[in-house]
Amino acid sequence: MLSNLTLAEAHQGLKEKKFSSVELTTDLLGRIEKLNPALNAYITVSKDEALKMAKAADEVITKGNLVSPLTGIPIGVKDLINTKGVRTTCASGILKDFIPPYDATVIEKLKALNYVLVGKTNLDEFACGGSTEHSYFGPTKNPWDLERVAGGSSGGSAAAVAADMSFYSLGTDTGGSIREPASFCSAVGLKVTYGRVSRSGVTALASSWDTIGPFAKTVQDAALVLKAIAGKDPKDATTLQAEVPDYAANLGKSIKGLKIGVPKEYFGEGIDPEVEKLVRAALKEYEKMGAILKEVSLPYTSYAIAVYYVAMPAELSANLARFDGIRFGSKPKEDVKSLVDYYYQARKEGFGDEIKRRIMIGTYVLSAGYYDAYYLKAQKVRTLIIQDFENAFKDVDVLMSPVVPFPAFKVGEKQDPLSMYLADALTIPVDAAGIAGLSLPCGFTASGLPVGLQIIGPQLSEGLLLNTGAAYEQATDWHKQKPKL
Amino acid sequence: MLSQDQVRHIAKLARLGVTDAEVEKFAHQLSDILGYVEKLEKVDTSKVQPTSQVTGLKNVMREDVVQKSCTKEEMLGCTELPVEAEQIKVKPVMNN
């Protein structure tokens, strides 16, 4: 079995010609075929395409051009990232047969390195949700407990990595959609600084919040992936000019003297005692390594969910206006007489409940007479959340907290939309401020469910976060634990 | 709290077809969500500027150069509707 290797180990094997990319890909496809019926991590498996790409990668490797650690490595990609010629559904009925005519910039970058795409991973419809239950294609199950959710919205990407069905994967994070499923599934998940990675060719949810980042089995692997996908892109005006460092080469620095802020609001009411205990134990581990802990306060934390559920639906309702079943997407089954009825029908049949709810909230808060009370107000409180972090980072280098207040919940357990939204309480503030956050496995509850440690840093602190995370990985072996499947 | 008529009106603005059962369900759920976000009213923001862009970028410009992207055929290939004279044929705008 090769699928249990890390990205770095798989790269080493290709380099030493212990196996070929075709062998690696065939092995991974076998694993997916075996496990996907139970986990539903993949919406689409592109077997023929994958083997073609693997063959092309092997030719590059044979010629001695193995320039990137990602060359010849097979992966799954979240299914709202456009892959030319490979169906991209956004887990929505309205795009269930959509085949994009172009690649997202992140995919162009990976293609230039001869990566191998094995398939598209499951998500909540249009990345709206925290459990992947809002997928047109059914929920992704948690590899550690098949009765539980994998988290969301990038649940398929997280479960695929945790279950060795992908060597790494790509996801998106708007309110916690990388970190939350990473925490639920025991994977490393990195939410990058807003604008660090191009979003061209990725379906927009909330444009002033959306980011793309990696899931990986180790911090080192996440560092390797980030270097490959980050950077300025003329096609995404929000991308940052800042140079992309060699994140992996910069790992291994001592964290002695690192000042870690512990935000008291992130350990307050609603935090599961087992989650708190494991995260506090991780903090102790950092103290042992020479880091200095300091309690800090982020007083506007409790307003973050409210800010998010005004601003995000507002931006989403505008972004999803383009889905009308005309230029692309599914035409409605029921025939109608006029164009306007066509719009009503295409969107009625094509969208799931959560999308309908968010479109309506967004439409409402942007409508005449309500804009100031809701959207503008939310944008102002967003400023206060940003200032909370700015003040904290005057005193400390990074912040540490739980990722989610509780471990993975059962499929179907959270029927009320608002109770689902509360899962993002500790991840949304990071998105609001456009700063970086890392989710790192830090142990298991008594019943064997994974728990994640969140490490938060200022904008463009990805290098610092990865080095800080790698130090913990050296001292512990949580990341090496595998689900029994 | 949102009335069912308000939900119907919002759905119309959003060009979203909804059934009567959905209107009833959404009226409750949307009211719950809007009730929750009302907590923002408690925050004094009289001296606070709104944030819409978090990294401070402004007016990002680039040269206006023609670049190769998708072909007309590829773009038209995305629709499920009939294509005539390189245009997508839609339902009539005016009802007769």
Q: CA distances (Å), B64 to each of A195, A227, B58, in order?
A: 22, 28, 18
Confidence of residue B94 (pLDDT cuts 50, 70, 90): confident
- Nearest CB to A208: which of B34, B36, B53? B53
Mean pLDDT throughout A153-174? 98
Confidence of residue A67 (pLDDT cuts 50, 70, 90): confident
* Backbone φ and ψ of A202, nearest 5°: -115, 130
The answer to whether the Cβ–Cβ distance between B26 and A328 falls below 8 Å is: no
Is A465 within 8 Å of A440 (Cβ atoms)? no
Q: CA distances (Å), A89 to each of A94, A391, B11, in order?
A: 8, 41, 24
What distance in Å separates residue A68's CA from the closest CA in chain B?
Answer: 26
Mean pLDDT throughout B69-96? 92
Options 1.10.260, 2.60.40, 1.10.20, 3.40.50; CATH for B4-41 is: 1.10.20
- The distance between the two most distant Cα atoms of chain A, rounded to a whole number of Å, is 71
Q: Is A85 left (phi over 0), alpha (psi -120 to 50) or beta?
A: left
Question: Does B52 lie at the interface with A, CB-CB under 8 angstroms?
Answer: yes
Share of chain A above pLDDT 70, in %: 100
Q: Is the previous residue joined to A419 through a cis bond, with omega within 30 degrees of 0?
A: no
Q: CA distances (Å), A214 to each of A149, A157, A251, A348, in order?
A: 20, 9, 17, 33
CB atoms within 10 A of CB A66: 18
Burial of A118 from C-beta contacts in 10 A (0-12 / 13-18 / 19+): buried
> Tokens in use for A477?
């072996």
Instruction: Quote the ipTM score.
Output: 0.96
- Nearest CB to B13: which of A306, A345, A363? A363
Q: Map out the domains of chain A with their CATH numbers.
A: 1-485 (3.90.1300.10)
Domain ranges of chain B: 4-41
HEC profile of A419-448: HHHHHHCCCHHHHHHCCEEEEEEEEECCCC
Confidence of residue A450 (pLDDT cuts 50, 70, 90): very high
Per-residue pLDDT tens digits for A401-448: 999 999 999 999 999 988 889 899 999 999 999 999 999 999 999 999
Is A144 within 8 Å of A186 (Cβ atoms)? yes
Per-residue pLDDT tens digits for B20-77: 999 999 999 999 999 999 999 999 999 999 999 999 999 999 888 998 889 999 999 9
Mean pLDDT throughout A369-396? 97
Lowest model confidence (mean pLDDT) among A121-125, A224-228, A280-284, B58-62: B58-62
CB atoms within 10 A of CB A5: 20
Mean pLDDT throughout A175-196? 98
Burial of A382 from C-beta contacts in 10 A (0-12 / 13-18 / 19+): buried
The answer to whether the Cβ–Cβ distance between B11 and A360 falls below 8 Å is: yes
∠ at Cα A213 (A211, A216), nearest 5°? 160
- Nearest CB to B40: which of A100, A303, A342? A303
Lowest model confidence (mean pLDDT) among A185-189, A198-202, B57-61: B57-61
* Backbone φ and ψ of A268, nearest 5°: -85, -150
Is A241's pLDDT higher than 80? yes
Mean pLDDT throughout A149-170? 98
Q: Which residues of A touch B5 (CB under 8 A)?
A: none
Residue numbers of A annotated as active site:
78, 153, 177
Is A37 within 8 Å of A83 (Cβ atoms)? no
- Looking at A249-371, list the stretches that DSSP marks H as alpha helix, in order from N- to C-terminal side: 273-288, 304-319, 339-350, 353-366
Is A214 within 8 Å of A439 (Cβ atoms)? no
Question: Does B57 lie at the interface with A, CB-CB under 8 angstroms?
Answer: yes
User: Please, which residues 453-472 of chain A have a Cβ atom closer than 8 Å to chain B?
Assistant: 459
Share of chain A above pLDDT 90, in %: 96
Q: Which residues of B touch A434 (CB under 8 A)?
A: 54-55
Is A310's pLDDT higher than 90? yes
Which residue of B lies nearest to A100 if distances are taken between CA atoms? B78
Q: Which residues of A touch B94 (CB under 8 A)?
A: 338
Per-residue pLDDT tens digits for A201-214: 999 999 999 999 99
Mean pLDDT throughout A450-456? 98
Share the mean pLDDT of chain A: 97
Q: Which residues of B touch A356 (CB under 8 A)?
A: 16, 18, 22, 26
Is A279's pLDDT higher than 60? yes
Residues with Cβ < 8 Å from A137, sequence gap 6 or more? A40, A43, A89, A91, A122
- Nearest CB to A339: which of B22, B37, B91? B91
Question: Does B24 lie at the interface with A, CB-CB under 8 angstroms?
Answer: no
Is A239's pLDDT higher than 80? yes
Question: Does A359 lie at the interface with B, CB-CB under 8 angstroms?
Answer: yes
Mean pLDDT throughout A69-79? 98
Instruction: Give the model's pLDDT for residue A84.
Output: 97
Is A398's pLDDT higher than 80? yes
Per-residue pLDDT tens digits for A17-45: 999 999 999 999 999 999 999 999 999 99
**Rounded Cα–Cα distance for residues A448 and A185 (Å):** 11
Residue type present at position A238 = T
Confidence of residue B1 (pLDDT cuts 50, 70, 90): confident
- Residue of B44, B80, B93, B95 to mutate when probing chain A, most A C-beta within 10 A: B80
* Backbone φ and ψ of B68, nearest 5°: -75, 125
Is B96's pLDDT higher than 70? no
Q: What kind and span of H or E run contains A294? A: strand A292-296
Instruction: Give the model's pLDDT for residue A436.
Output: 98
Per-residue pLDDT tens digits for A244-278: 999 999 999 999 999 999 999 999 889 999 999 99
